């Protein structure tokens, strides 16, 4: 069953998302000023996020239960 994940990120946080499941996932990053960035990560795709001048929320959708997504947080 797919689930959704939310991460609150603060200034200087670094995240690496790696889609290890067999279907695509959606990542939406919402900034304090209302700006949103959305990306679709296909199987095997990887993206790095570094928080700059404002806090953000990252929403990760359609994640398979278990080990479908690898998120590494480096603060």
Residue 75 above 80 pLDDT? no
Domain ranges of the chain: 1-36+59-75
Q: How confident is the model over 11-60, as pLDDT tens digits?
A: 888 888 888 888 888 888 888 889 998 888 899 998 888 888 888 888 88
For residues 6 and 14, is the Cβ–Cβ distance under 8 A? no
Instruction: Report in angstroms the alpha-carbon separations of 31 from 5, 34, 48.
Output: 16, 5, 16
What is the secondary structure of 25-75 as a DSSP string? EEEEEEETTS-EEEEEE-TT-EEEEE--SS-EEEEEEEEETTTSEEEEEE-
């Amino acid at each position: 069953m797919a689930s959704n994940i939310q991460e609150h990120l603060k200034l200087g946080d670094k995240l690496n998302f790696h889609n290890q499941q067999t279907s695509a996932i959606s990542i939406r990053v919402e900034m304090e000023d209302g700006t949103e960035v959305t990306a679709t990560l296909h199987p095997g795709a990887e993206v790095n996020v570094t928080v700059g001048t404002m806090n953000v929320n990252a929403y990760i959708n359609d994640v398979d239960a278990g080990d479908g997504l690898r998120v590494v947080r480096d603060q």
